[in-house]
Amino acid sequence: MLATLAVLMSLSGPTPAAALPAGGEVDVKLVLAVDTSRSMDQEEVRIQREGYVEALKHREFIEAVTGGLNGRIAISYFEWAGYVVPDSVIDWQLIATEQDAIDFAARLEERPITTQRRTSISTAIAQGAAMIVSSPYNGRRQVVDVSGDGTNNSGNRVEPTRDKAVEAGIVINGLALMLRPSGAPGGLDKYYADCVIGGPGSFVLPVYKIEDFATAVRRKLVLEVSGFVPLPFSHRIADQAKTDCMIGERQWQDMFDR
């Protein structure tokens, strides 16, 4: 286990600057890992940001937090593309009240909106896992919440990185933004189901229209905070052939070769 955690730490990008004092028991340690790659235009990135801000302040999210066994969660946030954007990291914050959630949403809302090149889901998973490992809180559950609109085409392979995080007791859920073709056979939701998500009760939610993003984020956060397990999307597609988890890297190489 220690070797697994060391590997995850070495694979990740920037981590929180300093260890904090022990923060006590929470129902879930939740990392929000948000794709800001240039496959999304500025309008889509803006709506995505607003979706997270709205979901964090929503009554359903607050009730899910306060209704837990401990009545509080620890949450953090960062943005990624081909790498983790260093100044996007919002370090761990305890949420136990509506005001806590509003304060966290305000910190997110004030951040500048930028986009970056490439897509490295493996880097996002490794960063999220490293942040969970170094968190000052003790969580009954540990979740990395990855939202993205494309396949891994940069950095380490996504499947083994996912597997190392799951071995460390971390659940990875996905929000697949299916606004345009991703190049993944069977759809990006199937790619996420086969190559990205993992751990007990893990799931992926597809988003087909950008205007549905806020609702999907809210639903996802409520499920993650409450611990309810939806019918896994992966069950619906289990009878299909497994996705080639290197499809993004192959497509990028083909484009580069041309």
CATH value at residue 44: 3.40.50.410
pLDDT for 15 beyond 50: no
Nearest to 92 by CA among 152, 19, 34: 19
C-beta separation of 33 from 145 below 8 A:
yes
β-pair type (171-177, 90-95) = unpaired
* Per-residue confidence band for 82, with pLDDT thresholds at 50, 70 and 90: very high
Residue 99 in any domain: the answer is: yes
3-class state of residue 79 by DSSP: strand
Residue 212 in any domain: the answer is: yes
Q: Look up residue 87 and give its DSSP letter.
A: G
Residue 24 in any domain: the answer is: no
* Per-residue confidence band for 258, with pLDDT thresholds at 50, 70 and 90: low
- Segment 203-229 mean pLDDT: 91
**For the chain, what is the domain count?**
1
Among the ranges given (15-29, 102-116, 209-223), the one the predictor scored with the smallest mean pLDDT: 15-29
Token pair for residue 11?
A: 């694979």
User: What is the torsion angle, in degrees rounded to the nearest 10, for the CA atoms of residue 55, residue 59, residue 65 and residue 67?
Assistant: -150
The beta strands (E) that lie in the chain are given as 24-35, 73-80, 90-95, 137-148, 171-177, 204-207
Q: For the chain, how many residues are written?
A: 258
Count of C-beta atoms within a 10 Å radius of residue 23: 17
Residue 136 in any domain: the answer is: yes
pLDDT for 202 beyond 80: yes
Q: Give CA–CA dist 35/62, Å, rounded.
A: 24
Residue 23 in any domain: the answer is: no
Residue 109 in any domain: the answer is: yes
Interhelix angle 2-11/121-133, nearest 10 degrees: 130
- Segment 78-93 mean pLDDT: 94
pTM: 0.89
Q: Write down the residue that tokens 């809302």 correspond to.
A: 109
What is the span of the domain harbouring residue 234? 2-13+32-257
Residue 148 in any domain: the answer is: yes
Interhelix angle 213-226/42-57, nearest 10 degrees: 40
Each residue of 125-150: pLDDT tens digit? 999 999 999 999 999 999 999 999 99
Q: Give every CB contact of residue 71 below 8 A, 6+ residues apart in sequence.
A: 27, 65, 96
Q: Look up residue 78 and give its DSSP letter.
A: E
Identify the top-confidence range among 9-13, 16-20, 182-186, 212-216. Answer: 212-216
pLDDT for 38 beyond 50: yes
> Would you state the pLDDT for residue 22?
52
Residue 25 in any domain: the answer is: no
Burial of 132 (0-12, 13-18, 19+ CB in 10 A): buried
